[in-house]
Chains A and B, each alone.
Chain A
Amino acid sequence: MNLTLRIWRQSGPEDKGRMVTYQVDGVSPDMSFLEMLDVLNERLILAGEEPVAFDHDCREGICGMCGLMINGDAHGPQRGTTACQLHMRQFSDGDTIDIEPWRARAFPVIKDLVVDRTAFDKIIAAGGYITAPTGSAPEAHSVPVAKADADAAFSSAACIGCGACVAACPNGSGMLFTAAKITQLSLLPQGQPERYTRVIGMVDAHDEAGFGGCTNAGECTAVCPKGIPLNTIGRLNRDYLRATAKRGGTPGS
């Protein structure tokens, strides 16, 4: 396959940045999208040019490092797939592909396609933990958990924090991420002691980081590589309403 790539090049946080066009020939349909970028980078290095910087680590769809806006789709055209698991057979010979970094004030570009996702860490730090001692794995039967709750908590816990929800959101909101991190804990008995301080802390950290507000548009869940459902945000909303209603009664407030 021969492709025309239009890639966002930005030498550093202060650079204005621009779309630059590259030709890539001899791409195999069995390559992953990142392998295709590797081919381009090898060629750029041989030609003495600066390679395109992009985030990646495990390349098997579970680490959450990769994240590219491919033709306006977060992680590309295939649903439930990270960019590293996207294969070039999803494209046709002669295609022009636009590749951009996640666009959000809370995710400033470091270089080319690499963005700084520290804002997500700040949200986690504001409440994504439990105070119960966690040493070795406990006896599974000592704390009963309803199967439905365990399943829902697990589907939230599948979030890899890649940031596609923010990238796709018309409001630049990180609410699907925040909701996933809140509900994976609030659905389980171990997460109950901090349930209501957690939701307030994490939503405040989300807003302070400069993310937009959620309008239930539903873009996030469509592009989420882990298929975190939109109703997760409903769980966050319910916890938030309860937390604000009973704030005075919350220990430590």
Chain B
Amino acid sequence: MAVTGILLVLFLVAHMLGNLKIFTGETAFDHYAHWLRDIGTPLLPSTWFLWIQRTVLLAAVLGHIGAATLLALRARAARPVRYAHRKKVNGSYAARTMRWGGVIILLFVIYHILDLTTGHLNPQGDPGNPYGNVVADFAPARWYVTLFYTLAIVALGLHLRHGAFSALRSLGQQTPAGERRARAAALVFAIVLCAGYLVVPFAVLTGLVA
């Protein structure tokens, strides 16, 4: 869980930084988007790096889901008779919602790829004009897209709040002071990432990016 999760988190950081280039204007954003296809050239043929990255990410996603499924199945098998009276758990809301939160994030990622990568669900869907696709996607008339996007990002933030701490713990974080630092760092990281992702659709919604 920890290793595949960290790979996905690294991608999330890079993806967020790329998204924020939308504030540098249409030309710069489109140039960035096209550059993604040329990373590694001339060493690698065009788009090869992108496909290598996609393969690694797909493996990480499958590994992450596989490990989570294994844990969930073990948890189910470990308690065949349920409690009649089960108190709400003491741990955080984030820790409690990891599994269903993960499912929401997966559904969103599928929609997101069909929307802004392949363009099938995008109102414009022009592979040559990613800036226009984003602006068309989050247009005020399509508020429900922004709503779904926001819900998915909040789910992601909760997932990261517990996940980032949990990954450090799984990799051997072992002191009480370090635990406080790791929990604080996970919270700050989750908030920063949420803000970084949400600022784009809301900039389009409010007309800051048009």
Chain A interface residues toward B at CB < 8 A: 6, 8, 17, 19, 69, 71-73, 98, 100, 103-106, 109, 168, 170-173, 210-213, 215-219, 222-223, 229-231, 233-235, 237-238, 241
Contact = CB atoms under 8 A, between A and B. Distances in A.
Nearest first, the 3 closest Cβ-Cβ pairs linking A and B are: A172-B78, A238-B172, A72-B87
A12 B71 CA distance: 30
Contacts of A211: 78
Interface in B84-105: 84-87, 89-92, 95-96, 98
Given A100-B84, A103-B83, A234-B172, A217 B74 contact: no
Interface centre among B78, B165, B166, B169 (most CB of A within 10 A): B78
A216 B175 contact: no
15 contacts: A69-B83, A69-B85, A71-B87, A103-B81, A104-B78, A105-B79, A170-B89, A212-B75, A215-B71, A215-B166, A219-B89, A231-B175, A233-B169, A237-B171, A238-B174
Nearest to A232: B174
Given A71-B85, A213-B71, A234-B173, A172 B79 contact: yes
A188 B173 CA distance: 19
Nearest to B95: A217
Nearest to B162: A216
Interface residues on B, range: 35 or more
A8 to B, nearest CB: 8
Contacts of B165: 216
Contacts of A222: 90-91
B169 A103 contact: no
A82 to B, nearest CB: 17
Contacts of B118: none
B126 interface: no
Given A104-B78, A172-B78, 4 more contacts: A170-B75, A219-B91, A222-B90, A238-B172
B172 to A, nearest CB: 3
Contacts, number: 110
Contacts of A170: 75, 89, 91, 96
Contact of B166 (A6, A72, A216, A241): A216
Contacts of A235: 174
B170 A216 contact: yes
Contacts of A17: 81
B169 A234 contact: yes
A104 B80 CA distance: 7
Given A218-B91, A241-B171, A72 B85 contact: yes
A72 B95 CA distance: 18
B128 interface: no
Contacts of A210: 77-78
B33 to A, nearest CB: 37
A111 to B, nearest CB: 14
Contact of B74 (A168, A171, A234): A171
Given A105-B79, A218-B90, A231-B173, A212 B71 contact: yes
Contacts of B18: none
A238 B176 CA distance: 14
B179 A231 contact: yes
Nearest to B166: A216
A102 to B, nearest CB: 10
Contacts of B66: none
Contacts of A72: 83, 85-87
